[in-house]
């Protein structure tokens, strides 16, 4: 493996660069198009400070909704590009309004296509024109779900209901979007997430507007509901959904539902609802196999290279490496390509394999072993030639303190463990000790190139089981 020419800069490329457009793309990939279009798209970037960023949203309601449900996830996405960011602050910036407010209920003709009704009431039908059948990449893991979805778009009520399940980021929303995109031309289409359905249900009860709510849902030809598992435990909403579901089936409307698990595995959902789901066609989307992952990576690379005409081409070796090593969801594959491409744009060079491993370090699991605190402690002890008992002891000798602080620092950046959890694994040390250790190593890295080099070598051994310490 070739050595990196500038270890510190390469290792920190995400932390030293910040492009809000890349964050937006990641939010859409990781949190889903529905959530992004309904909520996160409304976020605007204002300014970046030393350890926090200032964002704006149009209303307090949107701010509260985002902070209560998605703040931690957004922060983690931002930290992949700027790891020094520790908090997000929102400013309310109201747009110019010449018409009705966003929450106003617009009077519409229910005979019109639902797809053309404005979002001010239900905020549904955020159909993405870029998610269609013709750009859905198929393989053995998703072929059945694709064919069933295509069949429904050609002949509604052929499979009714259609229930699609699979893990996060596997393409369920893409298929529902594709069905809606094909059918909205000649049918009244309702495409909404279960989360949005739940919110509007509660809102309609509070505003004493349930009649209007029922009319919207029961006068449609096609109902697509994404992530139905979110109605778990909501008895009143399940009651309304059950009757809406039956009303639609009775009049020959098509119902398509997605979830993260099969109907019989849905928890805290009425048996009669699960029975209705099971009575239709149930299809699953499994994790993509190697062949499908290669197709996805190749297609996504081509798309990004066409967007960035000045972009250097990502090599076939790098594409194959990503396809082979990232075995989770399709979103993880897309996220990996986005990172490599952003690296290429920032440094104006195509990354080699070593650089790619560093860029994707938190996504990769090359040795099929998870990074554990025990592994980190073992590697650090071997590197500094001390025993684990010495590291975990209460002794404050300099030759023990620095390795101990290094192990704590590596545990903090390479695992998702909380400060108290890390403290327990280091002989029940207080979380303030953990914070002090992390800050100490960070300060030393700023002034000592040797420490930077040691940290990189240790990370390489831990993440990639590379005993040659070439990075």
Each residue of 140-154: pLDDT tens digit?
A: 999 999 999 999 998
**Into how many domains does the chain fold?**
4
pLDDT bracket for residue 295 (50, 70, 90): very high
| Mean pLDDT, rounded, of the chain | 81
Reply yes or no on whether the pLDDT at 240 is more than 80. yes
Of the residues 36, 60, 92, the one at which a domain ends = 92
What range does the domain containing 163 cover? 114-285
Alpha-carbon dihedral sign for residues 25, 35, 364, 164 = negative
Which of 159, 181, 405 has its CA nearest to residue 280?
A: 159
**pLDDT for 302:** 81
- Hey, what are 27's tokens? 């939010």
**Could you tell me if 170 and 257 lie in one domain?**
yes
Report CA-CA distances (Å) from 217 to 33, 114, 241, 390.
21, 10, 10, 66
Task: Indicate which CATH number applies to the domain containing 45.
Answer: 3.30.300.180
Q: Which residues on neighbouring strands pair with residue 326, listed in sequence order?
A: none
Distance CA 123, CA 107 (A): 14
For residue 300, count CB atoms less than 10 angstroms from its CB and return exposed for 0-12, middle for 13-18, buried for 19 or more: buried
| pLDDT given for residue 465 in this prediction | 58
Residue 98 lies in a domain: no
**Residues 234 and 131 occupy one common structural domain:** yes
Q: What is the pLDDT of residues 373-404, one digit of tens each?
A: 989 999 999 999 999 999 999 888 888 999 99
Percent of the chain with pLDDT over 90: 30
Give the pair of three-digit tokens for residue 297.
Answer: 């990576």
Which pLDDT value is given to residue 163? 97
22 closest CA partner among 346, 355, 363? 346
How far are the Cα atoms of 201, 293, 400 from residue 214, in angstroms, in the given order? 9, 42, 68
Calculate mean pLDDT across residues 70-93: 81
- Residues 203, 343 within the same domain: no
pLDDT value for 309: 60
Residues 246 and 120 in one domain: yes
CATH number of the structural domain spanning residue 269: 3.40.50.300
């Amino acid at each position: 493996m070739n050595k990196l020419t500038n270890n510190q800069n390469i290792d920190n490329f995400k932390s030293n660069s910040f492009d809000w457009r890349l964050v937006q793309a990641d939010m859409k990939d990781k949190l889903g198009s529905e959530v992004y279009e309904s909520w996160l798209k409304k976020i605007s970037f204002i300014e970046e400070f030393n350890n926090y960023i200032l964002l704006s949203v149009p209303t307090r309601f949107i701010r509260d909704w985002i902070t209560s449900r998605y703040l931690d996830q957004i922060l983690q996405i931002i930290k992949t590009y700027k790891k020094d960011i520790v908090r997000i602050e929102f400013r309310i910036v109201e747009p110019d309004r010449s018409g009705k407010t966003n929450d106003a209920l617009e009077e519409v003709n229910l005979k019109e296509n639902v797809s053309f009704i404005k979002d001010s009431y239900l905020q549904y039908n955020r159909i993405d024109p870029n998610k269609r059948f013709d750009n859905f990449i198929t393989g053995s893991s998703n072929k059945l779900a694709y064919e069933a979805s295509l069949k429904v778009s050609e002949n509604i009520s052929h499979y009714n209901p259609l229930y699609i399940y699979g893990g996060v980021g596997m393409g369920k929303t893409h298929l529902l979007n594709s069905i809606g995109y094909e059918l909205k031309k000649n049918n009244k289409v309702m495409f909404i997430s279960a989360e949005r359905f739940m919110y509007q249900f509660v809102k309609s009860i509070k505003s004493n507007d349930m009649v209007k709510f029922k009319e919207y849902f029961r006068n449609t030809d096609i109902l697509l509901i994404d992530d139905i598992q979110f109605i778990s435990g909501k008895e009143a909403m399940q009651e309304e959904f059950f009757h809406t579901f039956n009303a639609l089936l009775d009049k020959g409307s098509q119902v398509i539902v997605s979830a993260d698990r099969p109907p019989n595995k849905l928890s805290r959902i009425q048996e009669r609802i699960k029975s209705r789901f099971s009575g239709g066609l149930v299809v699953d989307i499994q994790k993509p196999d190697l062949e499908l992952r290669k197709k996805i990576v190749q297609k996504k690379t081509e798309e990004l290279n066409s967007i960035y005409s000045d972009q250097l081409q990502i090599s076939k070796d790098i594409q194959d490496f990503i396809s082979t090593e990232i075995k989770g969801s399709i979103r993880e594959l897309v996220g990996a390509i986005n990172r490599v491409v952003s690296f290429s744009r920032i440094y104006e060079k195509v990354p080699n394999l070593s650089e790619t491993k560093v860029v994707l370090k938190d996504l990769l699991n090359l040795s099929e072993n998870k990074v554990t605190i025990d592994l980190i402690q073992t590697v650090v002890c071997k590197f500094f030639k001390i025993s684990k008992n010495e590291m975990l002891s209460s002794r404050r000798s300099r030759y023990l303190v620095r390795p101990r602080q290094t192990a704590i620092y590596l545990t903090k950046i390479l695992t998702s463990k909380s400060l108290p959890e890390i403290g327990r694994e280091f002989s029940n040390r207080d979380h303030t000790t953990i914070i002090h250790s992390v800050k100490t190593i960070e300060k030393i890295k700023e002034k000592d190139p040797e420490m930077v080099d040691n940290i990189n070598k240790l990370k390489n051994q831990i993440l990639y089981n590379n005993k040659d310490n070439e990075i």
